[in-house]
Structure 1
Amino acid sequence: MNDDISVALKVVRVLERLEVPYLIGGSLASSTHGLARATANADIPADLKTDHVDEFVAALEADFYVSKDSALQAISRCSSFNLIDYSTGFKVDIFIPRNRNFDRMQLSNRVQIAVSDDDMAFFASPEDTIIAKLEWYRAGEEVSDRQWNDISGVIKLQGANLNLEYMQDRAKELGISDLLDRVLEQAGD
């Protein structure tokens, strides 16, 4: 198990103990479903509520820089906050789900994956990994080769196993159908 996953799992175990629905997304998910690459952070969408914050912070503050105020603000705004592992400097971004269909679907479609011989964690599905990364690609003005390559890697590795209809429906909801069509066309070349 690599250090990135080990750090993310420290946070995941606390979320599980608090019974907070979560998933590991971003580059850790695309590396799991596609082509592996190094990353500077872990993205974890988690349905953290204000009544979880005190216990969440208390459980992690010995190993991570974590701000209770930032967590509460993120929850109230449905945005994000981060934790930084003291020993590695690795950053874990916690994303509070927005009130939209895609965020709900992502959590309901999460898949449990073995991260070592005796350890499991929930990850975004391959389809949701693609859609989330396409949304980030659009938000970043469509210039990140890294995001695009992550998406292409998942498509190439997962191929015919992908639920194309599901992805098309989510892409339409998020206004990124053009990007999905383009990446699918390029991956087929």
Structure 2
Amino acid sequence: MRQYGITNRFYTRITMRTLAKDTSPEVETQLINLWRQQTPAKKLKSLTGLGQLVKNLIFSGLRLQNPQASKRELYHQFYIRRLGREPADKIFAHGKSVSQNLEGDMTEPQIIALAIRQLDHLKIPYYISGGVASIIYGEPRLTNDADLVIRIFPFHIPKLVQAFENEFVISAGAIQTALQGRRAFNMIHVDTAFKIDFYPISDDDDLEIDAFARRRLNDIGAGEVWLASAEDVILAKLRWFRFGGEVSETQWRDVLGVLKVQGEKLDFAYLSAQAQRFGLKDLFDQAREDAG
């Protein structure tokens, strides 16, 4: 892989072919073959177990640091670690009933499915993109949130808040501001601190409009959901990589993961044409070279 960093408008290149520095090409090939055999549900299930382990380790550390703290106080500290102080304080200030059973929390796929059932009920079109989609199509990794691209209008706001306010922290004002400013808004699942980021689609964003037309149903183990296609995940990740100054290792690695795992299943003619159309051709060509 070549990681790009921009300094004085010139590119600095660091060559690395494998997804991880400590993985040989031979071992990576074996991993990719295993990932190709896994269903989306199996991939997400394995990561759920790992996420629970990480959560338990964080709580063990917090207990050692704060032996006299109550369970609620420990949860507050955990939420600060996961979300930052302001969102964590907001959850606890709202008086939300926070789960104190580490083993009884909903899994990430269940939370995503819960959100999507409500969107379907409200007839709000959506598709999943971002980290969750790149995990399903590419290299497994942990993520603390899910990205949903949605088609939403101001009249949806009261019903959206009403549908989610019992189990999530969500703000009508934040949604209104996001729609006016054409940017994302989010909600946080109270019992797990799992965040769902919503990206309202713009009528002039042809990349997202095309992705909507190509979305596909996939079973994530908690029900069927609409996913962006693998090709559109790559294109979205390349665009975020560019918008972020071309320095995000996570975005670039996600792109390479999808390219490597999906391989010949990808529609490279579509990818090349869209990359050219949206000014991403240089990044796409580099990603193909880095993916091998």
**Is the shorter-chain TM-score for this pair beyond 0.5, marking a shared fold?**
yes
Does structure 1 conserve the Cα–Cα contact (< 8 Å) formed by 2:113 and 2:223?
Answer: no
1:175 maps to 279
Q: Which structure's CA Rg is the greater one? A: 2
2:208 maps to 103
1:63-78 matched pairs, under 5 angstroms? 63-78=167-182
TM-score w.r.t. length of structure 2: 0.62
For residues 87 and 57 of structure 1, the distance between their equivalents in structure 2, rounded to whole angstroms, comes to 17
1:50-89 matched pairs, under 5 angstroms? 50-89=154-193
| Identity, % of aligned positions | 33
Moved over 6 A (4+): none
For residues 39 and 174 of structure 1, the distance between their equivalents in structure 2, rounded to whole angstroms, comes to 27
In the alignment, which of 260, 269, 290 is matched to residue 156 of structure 1? 260
Q: Return the offset for 1:186.
A: 1.1
- State the number of aligned residues: 187
Q: Return the offset for 1:160.
A: 0.9
Does structure 2 conserve the Cα–Cα contact (< 8 Å) formed by 1:31 and 1:37?
Answer: yes
SS of 2:147 mapped into structure 1:
strand
Q: Which runs of 5+ in 1 are unaligned?
A: none
For residues 205 and 244 of structure 2, the distance between their equivalents in structure 1, rounded to whole angstroms, comes to 20
Letter in 2 for 1:104: I
For residues 266 and 125 of structure 2, the distance between their equivalents in structure 1, rounded to whole angstroms, comes to 23
Q: Return the offset for 1:129.
A: 0.4
Question: Are positions 1:112 and 2:230 aligned together?
Answer: no
Q: Which runs of 5+ in 2 are unaligned?
A: 1-44, 49-106
Letter in 2 for 1:33: Y
Backbone CA RMSD of aligned residues: 1.3
SS of 1:24 mapped into structure 2:
strand
CA deviation string 1:58-111 (max 9, x = no partner): 010011110111112222333210101111111111001122211111111111
SS of 1:141 mapped into structure 2:
coil
